[in-house]
Amino acid sequence: MVPKTKNSSLDSEKSDEVSIKVSNSQDSIDASAPAANGARVQTAPEQVAVAAATDTSAAPNKAQQVEDEKLRDTTNRESAIAMGEYNGSEYVGINEVPSPRAGHNNRTVSVLPLVFLIFYEVSGGPFGVEDSVHAAGPLLALVGFLIFPFIWSIPEALITAEMGTMFPENGGYVVWVSSALGPFWGFQQGWMKWLSGVIDNALYPVLFLDYLKSGVPALGHGFPRVLGVLGLTIVLTYMNYRGLTIVGWVAILLGIFSLLPFVVMGLISIPKLRPERWLVVDIHNVNWNLYLNTLFWNLNYWDSISTLAGEVQNPKKTLPKSLFYAMILVVVSYLFPLLVGTGALPLQRDEWTDGYFSDIAKMLGGVWLRWWIQGAAAMSNMGMFVAEMSSDSFQLLGMAERGMLPELFAKRSRYGTPLIGILFSASGVFLLSWLSFQEIIAAENFLYCFGMILEFIAFIRLRYKYPTAPRPYKIPVGNIGAILMCIPPTILICAVLAFSSLKVMIVSLAAVVIGLVMHPCLQHVEKKRWMKFSISSDLPDIQATTHESTETLIY
């Protein structure tokens, strides 16, 4: 990390493309905070001296000082930093030159695995969309999954593409919010999104067992169900521990296996399709809370992949391309099974709850297709679990690398995975898996909404404050267009929050309060040196480059 500085030139032989700039305001830097990569932040007298050294004779001395700083950097791979000393400064750009990590081959995820990781972060197939028909009937369910992506999914995916390529590191949306609003709100973003992700991950063992209980009734309740949740969580947690390369290719295989039976079911259903069944609607008998929460849960979490950006090959191209392909895959994977299920059979609205697609498969194709759908559901939930846990655990790693969490969260296993983050995320799943499907959805949506509001604010603020900061992918709209793009999803967020039950609201607000208290507590822990906090020197270089101004703010 480089302190905020004004422009000053160096000899090209010794600069190694490093630009030193000194701020015209000494008050803008807290001289006590150490810089990243082991570099020492200048004191106020030193800043004055550097500001004076703008003539030709001073340049060689300054260049030598820079070289000395760089030599010291090689012996200090990590620099301790007090959490309270970020001083609200921001990122403006990241130079995408990956630094090698000890024992870890950095940036291993390519386009195809990333598409399926995004697919499983967001969707995983049509398992879980059944409640939309139960809540609102066929027409509103189909319209919802057709229109909702334009209101929510596409704006969120576009913002993820722009911000994720601007900050291609594992902190993801935590880095975005910290850049725009400071480290306090960045920490709150990390807490709410991590907790929301863990709550979301607690769904998948529940869905897994709900699909199997029709064939194995013992898994529906009691000790066998608890044992099933425990065993599944352990196996999938170990898979995450083994690395993202394995997780990515497993996601591809699971995705193909999960979607193939719906293609077969669609072909079998063609003679039985009645298009008029798609138009059934009873506007006076709609459970809006369940309807909105089901849509929202099935079409959000596009930003979660940003916490894996530090592991992606050439993220400035790979990330936008993968988001685009994943968007098509997600929408088709929802609409096609809904068209088949609602069009081929008479409507029994009360039967449309999680797990109902296996019953539809039996009615259309027989027991063999039912078992295939149940197996596909199991594989899908495995894929969603490993993708979500990867995102959650790498988010904690990214926060630790930026000094927001104790250093132990930044430790990697021999497979390059964040062991402590994985264990913490798995523990959250164990604690929350006893909740019902609907309660889990409502609780994680509530927390997710708060996090998305912070992301929208950060996106717009960075657009205005640093309009020329490097953005390898930029949404082709101006600042006004960026604001207008965020209005529909913000209205939707307000609707989801308004329809939340009192129980969910109280529990979620209590979680928010915990985050507000946790940040100063961690600052105190760091100040007392009870635990070590540091900023990793293995992060991508952060360099200030704007075309309109010579001033730069670096977080």
Q: Give the confidence band of 426 by pLDDT, cuts at 50, 70, 90.
A: confident
**In a 3-state reduction of DSSP, which class is residue 279?**
helix
Amino acid 57: pLDDT: 41
Amino acid 81: pLDDT: 37
Q: Can you tell me the mean pLDDT for 234-258?
A: 77
Residue 215: the pLDDT is 64
Percent of the chain having pLDDT more than 90? 27
Greater pLDDT, 246 or 82? 246
DSSP code for 100: P
Average pLDDT (520-533) is 89
Other C-beta atoms lying within 10 Å of the C-beta of residue 477: 13
Q: What pLDDT shows up at residue 229? A: 74
Exposed e or buried b per residue across 438-450, where buried means at least 16 C-beta atoms within 10 angstroms of its C-beta: bbbbbbbbbbbbb
Least confident residue range of 44-53, 151-160, 325-334 = 44-53
Supply the pLDDT for residue 509.
86
Kindly write down the DSSP assignment for every residue of 204-250, as one continuous string.
HHHHHHHHHTTTSGGGGSHHHHHHHHHHHHHHHHHHHHT-HHHHHHH
| Residue 126 and residue 342 in contact, taking contact as beta carbons nearer than 8 Å | no
Q: Give the C-alpha distances (Å, rounded to integers) separating 434 from 143, 223, 228.
A: 32, 12, 12
- Asked whether 155 and 299 are in contact (CB, 8 A), the reply is no
Q: What confidence category does residue 4 fall into, taking pLDDT thresholds of 50, 70 and 90?
A: very low
- b/e per residue 320-351 (b: at least 16 CB within 10 A): bebbbbbbebbbebbbbbbbbbbbbbeeeeee
- Does residue 186 have a pLDDT over 60? yes
The band of 141, judged by pLDDT with boundaries at 50, 70 and 90, is very high
In this predicted model, which residue has the larger pLDDT, 539 or 220?
Answer: 220
Q: 546 with 92: CB under 8 angstroms?
A: yes
pLDDT for res 438: 66
Q: For residue 500, give the nearest of 435, 441, 456, 453 by alpha carbon.
A: 441
pTM above 0.75, yes or no: no
Least confident interval from 176-185, 358-367, 489-498, 539-548: 539-548
- Tens of pLDDT, residue by residue over 432-483, are 656 666 667 777 778 888 889 999 999 999 999 888 888 889 999 889 999 9
Residue given tokens 């988001």 in the structure block: 323
Helices 130-148 & 315-344, crossing angle to 10 degrees? 130
Q: What is the pLDDT of residue 541?
A: 43
Eight-class DSSP state of 410 = G
Cα 445 → chain centroid: 14
The confidence band for 143, taking pLDDT boundaries of 50, 70 and 90, is very high
Helix/strand/coil percentages in the chain, nearest 5? 70, 5, 30
Banded pLDDT at 331 (limits 50, 70, 90): very high
Confidence of residue 128 (pLDDT cuts 50, 70, 90): confident
Q: What is the mean pLDDT of residues 474-497?
A: 90
- Comparison of pLDDT for 334 and 47, the residue scoring more: 334
Decide if pLDDT at 100 tops 80.
Answer: no
Which long-range CB contacts under 8 A does 499-508 form with residues at least 24 apart? 499/288, 499/289, 499/292, 499/293, 500/289, 500/442, 500/445, 500/446, 501/289, 501/442, 504/439, 504/442, 504/443, 504/446, 505/446, 507/443, 508/443, 508/446, 508/447
pLDDT at residue 368 above 70? yes
What is the tens place of the pLDDT at every residue in 188-234? 999 998 888 888 777 777 777 776 676 677 666 667 777 877 787 78
Average pLDDT, rounded, for the chain: 75
- For residue 92, pLDDT over 80 is answered with no
8 A C-beta contact, residue 211 and residue 222: no
Q: How many CB atoms lie within 10 A of CB 257?
A: 17
Provide the pLDDT for residue 278: 94
Return the ∠ at Cα 357 (arms to 373 and 145), rounded to 5°: 115
Q: What is the pLDDT of residue 538?
A: 61
Predicted local confidence at residue 264, as pLDDT: 94
CA distances in angstroms from 156 to 41, 152, 181, 210, 244, listed in the order given: 37, 6, 19, 30, 24
Q: What are phi and psi of 418, to 5 degrees?
A: -80, 95
The predicted model gives 109-122 an average pLDDT of: 86
Instruction: Say whether pLDDT at 539 is over 60.
Output: no
Lowest-confidence region among 112-116, 243-247, 376-380, 513-517: 243-247
Predicted pLDDT of residue 211: 67
User: In a 3-state reduction of DSSP, which class is residue 333?
Assistant: helix
